[in-house]
Amino acid sequence: MALLRSRREDSGDDPLRFALLVGLATVPFTVALSWQPPPEATTRVGGSVSGLPLLIAGALVGYRYGDSPSRVRRAGVRAGLAASIATVLLYAANAVSTVGAASTTMTAVGIALAPVVVAVGVALTVLVTAGTAVLVGWLRRRADPDRRVTKHEDDRRRGAFESRWWLPVLAYVLLVPTVALAEGVLGPDGAGVVVVVSLLVGTALLSVPALLGVFVDATVPRHESAWFPNVWAYVSLPVCGFALGYVAASLLGSPRPSAPAMAAFVAVLWLTAVGYLANRYRHAGTLS
């Protein structure tokens, strides 16, 4: 990552050349991951586009240009436009391989709608890439050690412990055991299923603001003598739990590895949230 934060590309007329190169570099990977020859009996124009290269490109661009919100937005859009070449190529390749099996009417409709479909695909590609870049840029700025320190004496008791982002974290900590208890107590039929499913959905939805709450609360500016949590350790643990759960489930032959991966994410996030709140209370003497 140190190379990404090296000197700016000041040579030439384009200071965002890195973003352009990253976007172009995703094209062969996107095509390789997305291309699936359609069955002979199926008439299909277009196809799907793998989002993994776009997410990686957005993350690299966001980290590289994240020190400036306006700069990272422009860089993300530029990388997305370059990456959208793969979207156009995939659409053209799928159209050529399938349109021959279609009727004259369907062929005419496909040709007429081609500009609209391509425009939507390009727009979505830019949105995913630029959105990821903006998010990663915000994370980088938020976690910047220099930004997290305030040297004003008046802020010694303010800032970090006036944050209310611990509330979704606490809600998550209380909800997960409730879901586990409900699964063990309520029956598998009737209203019990509805309650358990509702709680499971609520847990999945609350996991996002809970993880975000840990990150934001841990990065609130505070006095240099205050507690500075290791924000990346707290945030990366649940993500690593999801990744390890996914890999383990895949190796064990699970048809849906995302399900056990999500369960691992929920469990590790709960342990992380408990540990964070305990440390917060230990250093502040109170949560609020």
- CA–CA gap between residue 206 and residue 260 (Å, rounded): 18
pTM of the full structure: 0.74
CA–CA gap between residue 58 and residue 83 (Å, rounded)? 10
Residue-level pLDDT, tens digit, the chain, 288 residues: 544 444 444 434 457 899 999 999 999 998 888 876 554 444 444 567 888 899 999 999 999 998 889 999 999 999 999 999 999 988 888 777 766 665 677 667 767 777 888 899 899 999 999 999 999 999 999 988 888 887 665 555 555 566 788 999 999 999 888 887 877 666 566 666 676 677 778 888 899 999 999 999 988 888 777 788 889 899 999 999 999 998 898 888 888 888 888 889 999 999 999 999 999 888 876 666
Token duo for residue 33: 């991951």
158: its two tokens: 């303010």
pLDDT of residue 23: 94
What are the residues facing 222 on neighbouring strands?
Answer: 149
Q: What is the pLDDT of residue 251?
A: 87
DSSP string, 60-80: HHHHHHTT-HHHHHHHHHHHH
Query: 104, 110 in Cβ contact below 8 A?
Result: no
Structure tokens at 28: 């062969």
Q: Which pLDDT score is estimated for 102? A: 59
Provide the 3-class DSSP secondary structure of residue 149. strand
Q: What whole-number distance in Å separates Cα of residue 62 and Cα of residue 107?
A: 41
Among 36, 79, 41, 29, which Cα is nearest to 57's?
Answer: 79
Runs of H (alpha helix) within the chain: 17-34, 52-65, 69-99, 104-142, 145-148, 166-185, 191-218, 231-251, 258-284
Of residues 54, 52, 74, 72, the one with CA closest to residue 64:
72
Please name the amino acid found at residue 146.
D
